[in-house]
A = this chain, B = another copy of it.
Amino acid sequence: MYDHFPISDRAKKMRETLLKFMDDHVYPAEKTYYEQVAEGDRWQPVPIMEELKAKGRESGLWNMFLTHEAGGYKGAGLTQLEYGTMCEIMGRSSIGSEPFNCSAPDTGNMETIFMYGTDDHKAKWLQPLLDGEIRSCFAMTEPAVASSDATNIETRIVREGDEYVINGTKWWSSGAMDPRCKIAILMGKTDPDAETHKQQSMILVPFDTPGVEVIRPLSVIGYDHAPHGHAEVKYTNVRVPVSNILLGEGRGFEIAQGRLGPGRIHHAMRSVGQAERALQMMCERGMARTAFGKRIADMGVTKHWIAESRMEIEQARLLVLHAAYMMDTVGNKVARREIAMIKVVAANLSQRVIDRAMQVHGAQGVSQDTTLAASFANARTMRLVDGPDEVHRETIAKLELKQYRN
């Protein structure tokens, strides 16, 4: 159906493998996963996920996000477009990515170290990340400033001899609550007096460095996403060797740009996947439940919602695949309008579709008995992740108006 998009037979085959894996292993594990998280210490690895990861490793889909060969792993060599179609499927379950070592922010962090790290960085951090033995976080957003405007960032990285000394507070460091989180990629200012886009640098901060202090977990609309979590982390006189800097001082923005495009595709396709699953649940529930002598699916408004959802999902999916295709063919920079668009479209789409599915489920829809409530909280949050929608709408409008400026 989508075969105007260039997707290799190999990718199609991997997609089939993935679909089967989801049916055989992931969906049936969801209930147990949440039960295991709820029991005892929430902030520990979840047994059933470790089992899923073991199976994922054998599936041939382990690290499939990886484009190239790295750390002994032969990258899957998928295009953004091809990997995008995988993200949609993994995204249908909130526990669908980790079995393949394809969760955010680890994928982005691995890509970053792969592209910008030294051999030493790779040996020390990329390898165990690729092996799924450790986890990582990305330390960018700060509580005190509107971080969607990255020039606001206040964390300082100051060189003293052979070391950089880091001071600042970051929050929304996703994954940082996990006890296996061993490394942070941190963005901060090395030179506040440089020109705006040269003030920032990115640096690797081993998470056990003295002065790194996890303050607390943040919740997103009632969910803490344990054991992964979103942490507020304070950095007080944290000292790391100068060799930990990525690419060099003042190149933080450059790295951020390179990282950003693929992440958007992944997020957006996962959102499409979430919406697709919500639509499926809406239909199933509509067919199964009767009120006032009628199947809910046969009520006019339900059908209206199903049709709207289908139309919105198809459009969003085409938009994201198209953006991925453009990234593959003309690159991030030319595709920046498309990348901004999918950010806004996909998150809003999935909130709308899930909202309708909840309504069809009645009170059950907001409870812990389905995945809808957690998906809803997640979709709502995605409208803020990587900058609120409004920042991206602004970008789109500016690119549009540019054509008319004299």
Give A residues with C-beta under 8 Å from B. 1-6, 141, 143, 146-149, 152, 171-172, 218-223, 279, 283-284, 286-287, 289-292, 296-297, 299-304, 306-308, 310-311, 314-316, 318-319, 322, 325-326, 329, 337-338, 341, 344-345, 355, 358-359, 362-369, 373-374, 376-377, 380-381, 383-385, 388-394, 396-398, 400-401, 403-405
Contacts and interface: CB of A to CB of B under 8 A. Distances in A.
A194 B164 CA distance: 62
Given A152-B291, A221-B222, A366-B220, A388 B373 contact: no
Contacts of A376: 221, 380
A219 to B, nearest CB: 5
Q: Is the interface of A mostly helix, strand, loop or mixed?
A: helix
Nearest to A330: B1
B311 A344 contact: yes
Nearest to A309: B400
Contact of A319 (B2, B141, B314, B377): B314
A403 B283 contact: yes
Nearest to A293: B149
Contact of A401 (B4, B283, B344): B283
Given A310-B341, A374-B222, A404 B326 contact: no
Contacts of A369: 218
Contacts of A344: 307, 311
Given A307-B397, A310-B337, A359-B390, 11 more contacts: A4-B4, A219-B373, A283-B400, A283-B401, A284-B404, A297-B401, A300-B302, A302-B397, A311-B319, A311-B344, A359-B389
A385 to B, nearest CB: 8
A146 B172 CA distance: 39
Given A301-B304, A306-B396, A401-B297, A311 B341 contact: yes
A216 to B, nearest CB: 9
A328 to B, nearest CB: 10
Contact of A359 (B287, B384, B394, B404): B384
A358 B384 CA distance: 9
Nearest to A393: B307
A362 B143 CA distance: 10
A283 B405 CA distance: 10
B220 A223 contact: no
Contact of A393 (B141, B304, B374): B304
A325 B3 CA distance: 10
Given A315-B315, A380-B366, A393-B304, A310 B218 contact: no
A286 B368 contact: no
A66 B391 CA distance: 46
A392 B306 CA distance: 12
A367 to B, nearest CB: 5
A221 to B, nearest CB: 5
Contacts of A221: 221-222, 366, 373, 376-377
Contact of A367 (B220, B292, B308, B374): B220
B325 A315 contact: no
B303 A397 contact: yes
A291 B148 contact: yes
Nearest to A383: B359
A390 B356 CA distance: 11
A23 B364 CA distance: 36
B303 A146 contact: no
A277 to B, nearest CB: 14
